[in-house]
Structure 1
Amino acid sequence: MAASATIALYTGLNVLIIFALVWQVIAHRRREKITLGDGGFPPLIRAIRTHANATEVAPIALIGLIAMAMANAPLWAIHAGGLSLTLGRALHAYGLSRVEGASFGRMVGMVLSLVALLWIGIVCIWVAF
């Protein structure tokens, strides 16, 4: 698999994760007839926060993966960052959207996401030199 196809794979998967999170917010809004804000409705608050967290982390990591590919990083390094990011985002979204407070998915998902960010940042700097 070429680097560009690898980037497309992880971008596509993360876009679908974010799509599912947007859909979850829309479903809560329609069901509860809340058009603006969260209405103090805890499931909607959690859905909004889950979506926001994904959009805070995924875009910069995906930009980093693109930079890695443009700088000819090894394919295994791109996969390591992309897989950690994608698995982390999926687990975190599942954990945060289903359980109030701490959960396995939320904890492991955040760790994997942070590992991905750290890995992608280090590899970007490494391949720049």
Structure 2
Amino acid sequence: MIVSTFAAILAILYIQLSFRVIKIRKAKRISLGDGGDASLQAAIRTHANFIEYVPFSLILLFLLEYQGLPSHFTYILGAMLLVGRFCHSYALADEKADEKMQLRVVGMVLTFLMIFISSVMLLITQVF
């Protein structure tokens, strides 16, 4: 049940990222591709990066919760993913993304750490 909450919140963030791409496409009148526009390229990559990491991360978290991971650990891992994805998305949402590189790095570190910890925990539960 905990993973469902994180999945719902992340789905809302995903919709927001999708609308950002749509908004820029409409404003720049670019229906396909990125037209060489830097702001659209950033929005597309932010959206794509989100969808590349979040589903797999949620599957790992779900498996841990399903196997009986204590709720406080599930909340911690879910919060790492949520904060990581928010930081990463926020850092790339601005045309001055280079100035927010540290926030982007924090986002990726939290995401990778969550995936790594979840993976190790799943392996440990299978071995023991």
Separation in structure 1 between the aligned mates of residue 32 and residue 50 of structure 2, nearest angstrom: 20
Aligned counterpart in structure 2 of residue 18 of structure 1, from 14, 19, 23 = 14
Which residues in structure 2 correspond to 1:1-129 (within 5 Å)? 4=1, 6-98=2-94, 99-101=96-98, 103-128=101-126, 129=128
Structure 2 unmatched runs, 5+: none
May I ask how many residue pairs the two structures share in their alignment? 125
Supply the RMSD in Å over aligned alpha carbons: 1.2
Q: Which moved more, 1:66-75 or 1:30-39?
A: 66-75
3-state DSSP class of the match of 2:97?
coil
User: 1:23-67: per-residue Cα shift (whole Å, max 9, x none)?
Assistant: 100000011110000000100000000001101111100001110
Letter in 2 for 1:95: A
Letter in 1 for 2:14: I
Separation in structure 1 between the aligned mates of residue 45 and residue 68 of structure 2, nearest angstrom: 35
3-state DSSP class of the match of 1:63?
helix
Structure 1 unmatched runs, 5+: none
Query: For the Cα contact (< 8 Å) 1:77–1:123, is it kept in 2?
Result: no
| TM-score, with structure 1 as normaliser | 0.91
Shift of 1:100: 3.2
Letter in 2 for 1:100: A
